[in-house]
Structure 1
Amino acid sequence: MNRSSEINTRLDEQLHENHKSVTQNNFAEGSTTAYAELHTHSNYSFQEGASEAWDLLLTAKQLELHALAITDHDNVSGVMEFAQAAKELGIKPIIGIELTLAHGLDDPDDTEYEPAKRPHITLLAETAVGYKNISLLTTHAHIDAEERNDPHLDPALLADHAEGVICLSGCRRGEISKVVSNGDIASAQHAAKKYIEIYGKENFFLELQQNLVMGDVQRNRSMAVIARELGIGIVATNNAHYHVRDRHRLNDALVAIKNNKSLEASHRERRPNDQFFLKSPSEMGVLFTEHPEAITNTLKIADRCEFDITSDAIYDFPSYDFLPPGHTESSYLRKICEEAAVRRYGSVTPEVTARLDKEFDLLERQRLVGFLLQYYDIIRIAREVQEDLGLVEPGLDIEENPPGRGRGSSVSLLIGYLTGLSHIDPLKFGLRLDRFLPETLEGEKLSPPDIDLDFPREIRAELILRIHERWGYERAVLTGMISTYKIRGAVRDLGKALGIAEDDLSRLNKRLDRHSSISALAKEMAELPEFRDRVDAPVWQMLIELAQQLNHFPKYLAQHPGGMILSARPLSETVPLQRSAIDGRYICQWDKNASEDAGFVKIDFLALGALSQLSESLELIRKQTEERVDISRIDFEDHAVYTDIHNADTIGVFQIESAAQMQTVTRLRPRNLTEMAWEVGAVRPGVGVNDGVTLLIRRHMGKDPNWKFDHPLEEPALGRTYGVPLYQDQLGELAVHVGGMSAVEGDQMRRAFTRRNDERHIAHWKDKFITGALAKGVSPEAAEKVFGKFHGMYQFPEAHAFAFGVTAYQMSWLKHYWPLEFFVGIFNNQPMGFYNLETLKEDAVRHGVKVLGPDVNLSEKKAVIENGALRMGLTHVAKLNTATAVPLIEERTVSGEFVSLANFMSRTRVQQEVLDLLSAAGALDRFDNIADPDRIPPTITDRRHLRWESGLRYRPRGEKKDGSRQLAFEIPVEQDMIALPSESGWERMIGEYSATGVYPQGHMMEKIRPHLPSTVIRSEEVRNYANGDRISVAGLVIRRQKPNGKTVFITLEDEFGHSPLIIWPTMYQRFKQQIKESLLLATGTVSRREGTMNIVVENITPIEESIPQFPSRDWG
């Protein structure tokens, strides 16, 4: 990678051509002319750009560049971040792009280039119209391309989108540069004239680049001559791909990664030297001494580019176009709400009227009534999807059983509750509007509110397609999401580029903690015996060094899990669109932060497995009882349900089933929905950062009766949570009540900490907060204390916590009163939650639910209720998907039950692998001497013989042994059957687990326990031991958690229940490899605290390797 000798040779050649006596080290002594860099790639030029925007801008500021343009390859994903940072640093940002063309303007229209040889062009936005045209062109490059990941633009479209655009002819891969390099000046002139026809002489410049590459000087001279002859300008650029020279190593590695090659194999694709970094005006002046006007023109172009994307991006939320005659938006929405209020409250009460008056006043002032009506339409479309899929009874009032559930601050809206956007009554729980619709001062700009909606999985996919259809893909677009490098991805990609053996990389990645920062890579390797000696090896040192630079770099643009933007005008006029990896979906090139900064209204359609489970369980209850349970009107103060919650009987219960949540719910002991919201809100990083959970619990339980606010002005914000800032909203309230800010300023400060928690931003907001607090009579010491409660770590909005708290209670209620339906629902909606199917099965058994394995004659596609038991579905068998299960069930329905293995095989023709798994799962047990006890010796009655028989009968699909077509009839195989030893109980259990992930007949620890030391106690005995007692337990790891990279929580399961383990950070360092095993034996001391019980680990070992391993859930 170090090509310094090659560079110096080429440098000498260039300097000789220029007749200059200068070396690379005295560039800074050249001209001090001003310069603007108009061709720069950030790391949003995915797997090419080797520097973040911030590093590029800081370097530009240090070099005193007049302006800096961002021109990433075929996307504008980083422009908002770039422009905001540039303005902070006092640098003029110019927005542009380097587009890939399908072919040159001068090529025949049917010319086809392979991707690596397609020409490039550089476009800069002079005006807002110019940026719109760049966005439209980029959209065409992506949408019109045959392959989603191969964007390229038909150059015929340039002419229709030229207004407001300044066009530079491009890098060495530009159409004109390439033909000039080939010595074809006539063709270059002809092509240049075509660009002039499109852009005009004042808006088209030939781009000169001097990166000390052989041929640069002659190409630049030729292009300057062409420019003079045609009367157009020339402009100097450096095609910067990194901010400083040292980053060329990372650039080389990224290019190798992009091309799926090693560094050694990617010489042709990599840049020819290390000169593609930001250079000072002096350095550029020396490089372009022959062409000073090329430097001057950078300033002229920069001064012309007045477009500011931070303020000039055009966006309008769509108006509501479906009003009934005689209604305004407000009168129609009010009518909907008042009709629903009669159904929910019996009448439109004075309290309802007062709240609606306040909400409508705020909505009308912010012009958001149509916004809420659009959401109402979305909910109605979702209900149509439910009905079409047969998931709900037609005719239900939408607010009674909403198809989706609101989360976030929008849950505080009574309008949302009455229109089906939310399942939470804000009047009942006193939810405040401040976070969703803060009061604004005159002239303040309110960021558009988010309304997040959770939908059952089966609804969401179809709903997105229908919204695309309703508004059109250009007006209803999914938000982008930037996938970034983490430690394992960096090791894998960089290691491959550096030529490290894939086995070594795979082995290392399996041992690395996936939550570790890339900066910890060297330390993690040093702790692994097999890698300890490699840390100092040159190639591994290079990997570690490059990985540090790659930390959190963007890898590619993906689809946000649920964010969608609705727009009154084609969104492609504001941000480029492209196809998603999922057919029929379209995404924009901005992530949620950039979209929010542009003023976009983002709607989150999130798939929540718990809602799918809830919906299915309620439908099962209706079918079993012929009565419908209104889950919104159950008793929310049921003592029996809260007793289950206090006892942490919450496996499978949304939001309160993790180890940390179980600990918290046991300590907090909620007795109503307000306290359920506390529990849901408490288990968030932003609450634990100042020991908030412990403070809240102790104060709530009366164990700290003398606690005080840091200042009395905190009470309006924190009084309801004992002085602990539990929710996002409370931070904004502190800013208002203590810091003297407006509600909008308070929300802006909260967002600033969340989005960009760095010292400069903290200093800015701290100064504003302290100044305001002092003006309100707060002492400097108290003001500092209160400000210390602000941070960038995640917390729930209060209404969000209520929304999730209600759902958690409803799921607990279902589990208590309808356990069979609850567990059928959860079996059918995997994966979800924290636990695997075996753990859920064990919990079902503890709740009196009998679990039956799959059966080819009794099972449906999914789990069903069969004579008061849960019968597993055919798709619970590995490798047996819907496409295989449905034809099997249809055959059984039409032609009757399968009567023998031969009969089953001839009628279904399933693959041998599936036959083996069905046998292992016990789904073929009924064929074992049941239908025809005389067909083989009657003593042979186990699954091993079924597999043997299926192997004898099986022929590859469509063929007999001699290659002719197989006939669909049963062939005799009795003569080939042999007596085999029967499977042991352990073998059957292992087979069942491998096929279904479940042991239907018991728990594996029943078979293992006889081999354990006698000192190992059962999980059910742990409760009999006192605080400080030393005990040993063993079991299958069903959950590991390592929140915030600190204390580790592990739950072991045996045949009697669960044993919760705590591993302190020091012990984690000692046992971090051992605890990755699936079966563990742990010794430690009992710790009892506020109703909780844990085992604090002193020693931990994997159970003997002679016992087969089973998968356990890793860090989550």
Structure 2
Amino acid sequence: MNRSSEINTRLDEQLHENHKSVTQNNFAEGSTTAYAELHTHSNYSFQEGASEAWDLLLTAKQLELHALAITDHDNVSGVMEFAQAAKELGIKPIIGIELTLAHGLDDPDDTEYEPAKRPHITLLAETAVGYKNISLLTTHAHIDAEERNDPHLDPALLADHAEGVICLSGCRRGEISKVVSNGDIASAQHAAKKYIEIYGKENFFLELQQNLVMGDVQRNRSMAVIARELGIGIVATNNAHYHVRDRHRLNDALVAIKNNKSLEASHRERRPNDQFFLKSPSEMGVLFTEHPEAITNTLKIADRCEFDITSDAIYDFPSYDFLPPGHTESSYLRKICEEAAVRRYGSVTPEVTARLDKEFDLLERQRLVGFLLQYYDIIRIAREVQEDLGLVEPGLDIEENPPGRGRGSSVSLLIGYLTGLSHIDPLKFGLRLDRFLPETLEGEKLSPPDIDLDFPREIRAELILRIHERWGYERAVLTGMISTYKIRGAVRDLGKALGIAEDDLSRLNKRLDRHSSISALAKEMAELPEFRDRVDAPVWQMLIELAQQLNHFPKYLAQHPGGMILSARPLSETVPLQRSAIDGRYICQWDKNASEDAGFVKIDFLALGALSQLSESLELIRKQTEERVDISRIDFEDHAVYTDIHNADTIGVFQIESAAQMQTVTRLRPRNLTEMAWEVGAVRPGVGVNDGVTLLIRRHMGKDPNWKFDHPLEEPALGRTYGVPLYQDQLGELAVHVGGMSAVEGDQMRRAFTRRNDERHIAHWKDKFITGALAKGVSPEAAEKVFGKFHGMYQFPEAHAFAFGVTAYQMSWLKHYWPLEFFVGIFNNQPMGFYNLETLKEDAVRHGVKVLGPDVNLSEKKAVIENGALRMGLTHVAKLNTATAVPLIEERTVSGEFVSLANFMSRTRVQQEVPDLLSAAGALDRFDNIADPDRIPPTITDRRHLRWESGLRYRPRGEKKDGSRQLAFEIPVEQDMIALPSESGWERMIGEYSATGVYPQGHMMEKIRPHLPSTVIRSEEVRNYANGDRISVAGLVIRRQKPNGKTVFITLEDEFGHSPLIIWPTMYQRFKQQIKESLLLATGTVSRREGTMNIVVENITPIEESIPQFPSRDWG
């Protein structure tokens, strides 16, 4: 035992004895010490805090702490979650922060510290103004720092933001604590006086900490003397980083991870012992026997902190600042809507007027009219971006080719339909407002609605930039998103900290999949032969234990994919801002849940590849035919289109192309847009609860004619979907009609089930629901059964399902009537959807589209239509991006086509891999024909010959190592050419696939099939077999899905079509490694059910293991 450990052990023993004595005395006197912990770190002190807010608060309640402050490092990401949970538990929450300063107040202004040595300061929000100032200071700490991940504050800014703030001098890294520890009392006094000048004697306290660390006692004594001499208070804190002592192991591991070191190598960075946990008032009283006023002051400070972030956060809904003269927000928006109604309906009908009256009444009561006008502007800015980028013809009506599409519950808004936010007519489909704008009772607080907008991918970045420019960076801010630990990340990071070999961690992670749970990690390891004998080893046991604790812990703050908050005032007054990883963007430190709880109005700008494809396909149709297709006015009841959908001819079709959707669509057989919305909504995790999909389909098809509601009161909510809660809205409606709640309460109850770590709310809502249901005459049994339909699994809002259902139908319509334009659009907007380019190519061929490979003389940057065929673009060749392809095209346009490899290489400045990739892709095949156009039959330039020649001809340009210039001129190489064997058909095919991701001239299974066992059938033959027949199929894996973490769905593709496989969980454990291969041979039994067909796998092997000498050059 070293000297430090010995001293700590003795101090710990002394504490234990003193604790027993003091506790006995207090109990004897009938009183205990009261204490509030004012310096606590949750796991939002990223990679340092080792406990969740709920664990800290629950422990604080058990310890009977007077109050608890959250003071995470340089961020307030967890304060909303903390404050809500604290109020629920009856603990007073205090909002604060531990900020990093660039240097001390007493240091010269140009002092620079290494990040690990910068001083800390603890700030607590006494009032709403104080929290505003903390938010502004934190924003400066992040925005003003040179490095995005190194926040630190210029201490000169403290004085301008001191009102309403109580300042504690900080932990051991505080400016004053450090100089006191060094014995420099004079400097400590001088620094303290500067803090007093800023905060005043009533608002500045010297922070004493006693964690049984060498030097604590003397430092505290010295600081107490300084405080008495200066007439300021002292305050005790424990700088808690975890809720119970045992969590110190996780805290140590997190600090090691943060510093990219092992535990063994991170002694200096880690806390010196295991005493940084929440302690009871009695324990703190023992520790601060010499300084009782430090304990008393915790209570005085806590009582002074009146700020409640759950109700006092300052935020104003955005107003509209661009009104024409003579208009209010309501009159201007009404004018826009009525003009659009004439275009949409021919006139402003009584039905339109009534709906607009209702919507305007709700919007005006919630002060959201200006918010809707902001959206109106955003849609028009999006159209400007499209036009500026040359993506659409200038002057198109918004309705004809909308730049964005609403999703979510906002689609139910008629105002949204008339202003271009939505492409769904809510009157036609009877969409309700309840989910988007529920009626509120007096005194009820409505969570602000959010409107999700999908935009083509290519305009989103520019659109966000222009919105920043229009509203300003402080009033248009992107939402934060908390990245959390999953099993692979936890194993990797903790394993490195524990010193486990990286090879072992890599092998283990490869064997785990994303559905593996941390709680089942030991079981997963026991099933892996190379880890079976290690599970019980101490280091692996520690890994399993810590990984369990780390499950779902916040890892860092990232940018939400598209969420943006609009505010009437600078948002940094309400929540700190920091720079995004993308230059020019700023994010707030709250995620979508905290932003919603704070009452923020949030817009989601989402990039949707399907909209890019749709927009491009419509433009192609216009350019090719001069026909302008108004996609909003096509026939939505076209029998031919629905036949394609029923037959699962949906590869490449938005929302209905997955294996699960294909299975469902053949069973449900939608015939109109209402049923398309069912289809889109059905394949969501929440609908699968209680086998909802099967119930919906059977009842819809009349196969269960005697079904009944669990209680007649369900009918208003569930009648339209045969008693199945298909949509989010219906759960809220159940709460209203069965549970007797208001619409707002019903929505709050639904949300409680979806929040992370909000299971504790469910008991409250269950009691309220059951009580309300009983009051309405529902039996206890029926009330329990209806409540059982609530869950936290994801479902679509009804309007959202309609929005996506319409888009899915429109894509199916395009695929049926304009297949060439459809597939060009989809080729040019990869990656998206479920399938690779080869699968899409095969589907295009099945629809009569001829697909031509890239050609250096015929291809453009992206795919184009060439004489009625799809010609792949140069950027479809691997590693050839726009920067490489465009100069080639420009050279060809200016100087004519390339006539030979020598000509190509002398005219372009490309790396050697470019001609090699182009030749592998077949893009140089026509050089022989260009040289001898009259040759019959035409020949293909040999690709192996081209690659040899390119190696001989390649001459690097630029400076040599000795600084001299490399001259660029063509050197004869014919004398160095040798006769090489031509590539086989198999080699050409593999080369094409490697270079482009497709086989332009066929399918690889054509080459493989002659070598397969004769029992293997073609995919097109599967339909001829009956239920229960045993068959074998083979093909290329084009899709693997494991939606519930148990059953695996695999789709095999051969040259004739697709074979759907199902692997049950028991078989998955047996074949989990084999199914990772690309080419598989499967044997199983045919399963037919309600129009669907699958092969239930009994055995599966990689094709490579089934064919001797695979592959061979002799294959074609």
Aligned residues: 1116
Task: Give yes or no for contact 1:10–1:214 (8 Å, CA) kept in 2.
Answer: no
Worse-matched range after superposition: 757-766 or 73-82: 757-766
Structure 2 Cα separation of the partners of residues 161 and 95 of structure 1: 16
Task: Give yes or no for contact 2:317–2:368 (8 Å, CA) kept in 1.
Answer: no
Deviation at 1:757, TM superposition (A): 7.1
Identity %: 100
Deviation at 1:310, TM superposition (A): 0.5
Task: Give yes or no for contact 2:984–2:1114 (8 Å, CA) kept in 1.
Answer: no
Deviation at 1:70, TM superposition (A): 0.5
Worse-matched range after superposition: 1071-1080 or 475-484: 1071-1080
Deviation at 1:955, TM superposition (A): 2.2
Task: Give yes or no for contact 2:40–2:69 (8 Å, CA) kept in 1.
Answer: yes
Partner of 1:376: 376
5+ residue gaps, structure 1: none
Partner of 2:1072: 1072
CA deviation profile, 1:763-807 (whole Å, cap 9, x unmatched): 221222122222222222222221111111111110000000000
Partner of 1:431: 431
Task: Give yes or no for contact 1:57–1:68 (8 Å, CA) kept in 2.
Answer: yes
Task: Give yes or no for contact 1:14–1:212 (8 Å, CA) kept in 2.
Answer: no
CA 1:939 to 1:161, structure 2 compared with 1: closer, same or farther past 3 Å?
A: closer
CA 1:415 to 1:7, structure 2 compared with 1: closer, same or farther past 3 Å?
A: farther
Task: Give yes or no for contact 1:205–1:235 (8 Å, CA) kept in 2.
Answer: yes
CA deviation profile, 1:826-883 (whole Å, cap 9, x unmatched): 1111110001111111111111111111111111111111111111111111111111
SS in 1 for 2:1044: helix
* Alpha-carbon RMSD: 3.4
Worse-matched range after superposition: 907-916 or 78-87: 907-916
Task: Give yes or no for contact 1:31–1:286 (8 Å, CA) kept in 2.
Answer: no
CA 1:491 to 1:2, structure 2 compared with 1: closer, same or farther past 3 Å?
A: farther
Deviation at 1:915, TM superposition (A): 2.5
Worse-matched range after superposition: 24-33 or 683-692: 24-33
CA 1:344 to 1:1115, structure 2 compared with 1: closer, same or farther past 3 Å?
A: farther
Worse-matched range after superposition: 645-654 or 753-762: 753-762
Worse-matched range after superposition: 656-665 or 991-1000: 991-1000
CA 1:575 to 1:862, structure 2 compared with 1: closer, same or farther past 3 Å?
A: same
CA 1:9 to 1:432, structure 2 compared with 1: closer, same or farther past 3 Å?
A: closer
SS in 1 for 2:20: coil
Task: Give yes or no for contact 2:900–2:927 (8 Å, CA) kept in 1.
Answer: yes
Worse-matched range after superposition: 767-776 or 68-77: 767-776
Structure 2 Cα separation of the partners of residues 287 and 446 of structure 1: 47
Structure 1 Cα separation of the partners of residues 717 and 550 of structure 2: 41
SS in 1 for 2:503: helix
Task: Give yes or no for contact 1:399–1:419 (8 Å, CA) kept in 2.
Answer: no
CA deviation profile, 1:118-138 (whole Å, cap 9, x unmatched): 110000001100000000000
CA deviation profile, 1:448-493 (whole Å, cap 9, x unmatched): 1111100000111111111111111110000000000000101111
Structure 1 Cα separation of the partners of residues 18 and 696 of structure 2: 74
Task: Give yes or no for contact 1:862–1:875 (8 Å, CA) kept in 2.
Answer: yes
Structure 1 Cα separation of the partners of residues 1110 and 387 of structure 2: 41
Deviation at 1:586, TM superposition (A): 0.6
Task: Give yes or no for contact 2:4–2:214 (8 Å, CA) kept in 1.
Answer: no
CA 1:376 to 1:760, structure 2 compared with 1: closer, same or farther past 3 Å?
A: same
CA 1:1095 to 1:12, structure 2 compared with 1: closer, same or farther past 3 Å?
A: closer
Task: Give yes or no for contact 1:1078–1:1112 (8 Å, CA) kept in 2.
Answer: no
SS in 1 for 2:717: helix
Partner of 2:975: 975
Structure 2 Cα separation of the partners of residues 105 and 897 of structure 1: 70
Worse-matched range after superposition: 958-967 or 69-78: 958-967
CA 1:1110 to 1:828, structure 2 compared with 1: closer, same or farther past 3 Å?
A: farther
Task: Give yes or no for contact 1:399–1:418 (8 Å, CA) kept in 2.
Answer: no
CA deviation profile, 1:355-394 (whole Å, cap 9, x unmatched): 1122122222222211111111111111111111111222
CA deviation profile, 1:116-171 (whole Å, cap 9, x unmatched): 11110000001100000000000000000011000000000000000000000111
Task: Give yes or no for contact 1:399–1:417 (8 Å, CA) kept in 2.
Answer: no
CA deviation profile, 1:191-221 (whole Å, cap 9, x unmatched): 0100000000110011111111111111111
Structure 1 Cα separation of the partners of residues 71 and 640 of structure 2: 63
CA deviation profile, 1:580-629 (whole Å, cap 9, x unmatched): 00111110000000000000011000000000000001001111001210
5+ residue gaps, structure 2: none
Structure 2 Cα separation of the partners of residues 1041 and 76 of structure 1: 38
CA 1:218 to 1:1082, structure 2 compared with 1: closer, same or farther past 3 Å?
A: same
Partner of 1:441: 441
CA 1:727 to 1:106, structure 2 compared with 1: closer, same or farther past 3 Å?
A: same
TM-score, length basis structure 2: 0.96
Task: Give yes or no for contact 1:440–1:446 (8 Å, CA) kept in 2.
Answer: yes
CA 1:15 to 1:1092, structure 2 compared with 1: closer, same or farther past 3 Å?
A: closer
Worse-matched range after superposition: 915-924 or 947-956: 915-924
CA deviation profile, 1:167-191 (whole Å, cap 9, x unmatched): 0011111111111111111111110
CA 1:917 to 1:3, structure 2 compared with 1: closer, same or farther past 3 Å?
A: farther
Structure 2 Cα separation of the partners of residues 103 and 539 of structure 1: 40
Structure 2 Cα separation of the partners of residues 980 and 76 of structure 1: 67
TM-score, length basis structure 1: 0.96
Task: Give yes or no for contact 1:852–1:869 (8 Å, CA) kept in 2.
Answer: yes
Worse-matched range after superposition: 757-766 or 474-483: 757-766
SS in 1 for 2:1060: strand
Structure 2 Cα separation of the partners of residues 375 and 1030 of structure 1: 57
CA deviation profile, 1:397-431 (whole Å, cap 9, x unmatched): 22343210000111011111010000001111111
Task: Give yes or no for contact 1:411–1:426 (8 Å, CA) kept in 2.
Answer: yes
Task: Give yes or no for contact 1:641–1:816 (8 Å, CA) kept in 2.
Answer: yes
CA deviation profile, 1:214-269 (whole Å, cap 9, x unmatched): 11111111111111111111111111111111111111111111111111111111
Deviation at 1:12, TM superposition (A): 6.9
Deviation at 1:933, TM superposition (A): 10
Structure 2 Cα separation of the partners of residues 362 and 22 of structure 1: 61
CA deviation profile, 1:648-696 (whole Å, cap 9, x unmatched): 0000000000000000000000000000000001001111111110000
Task: Give yes or no for contact 2:924–2:941 (8 Å, CA) kept in 1.
Answer: no
Deviation at 1:18, TM superposition (A): 11
Worse-matched range after superposition: 379-388 or 766-775: 766-775
Structure 2 Cα separation of the partners of residues 832 and 169 of structure 1: 53
Deviation at 1:1113, TM superposition (A): 27
CA 1:3 to 1:595, structure 2 compared with 1: closer, same or farther past 3 Å?
A: farther
Partner of 2:842: 842
Deviation at 1:811, TM superposition (A): 0.3
CA 1:1111 to 1:192, structure 2 compared with 1: closer, same or farther past 3 Å?
A: farther
Worse-matched range after superposition: 1059-1068 or 111-120: 1059-1068
Task: Give yes or no for contact 1:41–1:73 (8 Å, CA) kept in 2.
Answer: yes
CA 1:566 to 1:961, structure 2 compared with 1: closer, same or farther past 3 Å?
A: closer
Worse-matched range after superposition: 72-81 or 343-352: 343-352
CA 1:480 to 1:27, structure 2 compared with 1: closer, same or farther past 3 Å?
A: farther
Structure 1 Cα separation of the partners of residues 786 and 718 of structure 2: 11
- 1:771-850 alignment, distance < 5 Å: 771-850=771-850
Task: Give yes or no for contact 2:1041–2:1049 (8 Å, CA) kept in 1.
Answer: yes
Structure 2 Cα separation of the partners of residues 17 and 514 of structure 1: 49
Deviation at 1:901, TM superposition (A): 0.9
Deviation at 1:645, TM superposition (A): 0.3
CA 1:157 to 1:624, structure 2 compared with 1: closer, same or farther past 3 Å?
A: same
CA 1:1114 to 1:152, structure 2 compared with 1: closer, same or farther past 3 Å?
A: farther
Deviation at 1:1068, TM superposition (A): 1.6
Task: Give yes or no for contact 2:1041–2:1048 (8 Å, CA) kept in 1.
Answer: yes
Task: Give yes or no for contact 2:401–2:615 (8 Å, CA) kept in 1.
Answer: no
Deviation at 1:1002, TM superposition (A): 1.2
Task: Give yes or no for contact 2:565–2:601 (8 Å, CA) kept in 1.
Answer: yes
Task: Give yes or no for contact 2:23–2:282 (8 Å, CA) kept in 1.
Answer: no
Structure 2 Cα separation of the partners of residues 125 and 809 of structure 1: 54
Structure 1 Cα separation of the partners of residues 437 and 329 of structure 2: 18
Structure 1 Cα separation of the partners of residues 981 and 261 of structure 2: 52
Structure 2 Cα separation of the partners of residues 82 and 348 of structure 1: 50
CA 1:1112 to 1:1056, structure 2 compared with 1: closer, same or farther past 3 Å?
A: farther
Deviation at 1:932, TM superposition (A): 7.5
Structure 2 Cα separation of the partners of residues 414 and 255 of structure 1: 53
Task: Give yes or no for contact 1:836–1:1113 (8 Å, CA) kept in 2.
Answer: no
CA deviation profile, 1:83-109 (whole Å, cap 9, x unmatched): 111111111111000000001100110
Task: Give yes or no for contact 1:126–1:305 (8 Å, CA) kept in 2.
Answer: yes
Structure 2 Cα separation of the partners of residues 316 and 544 of structure 1: 47
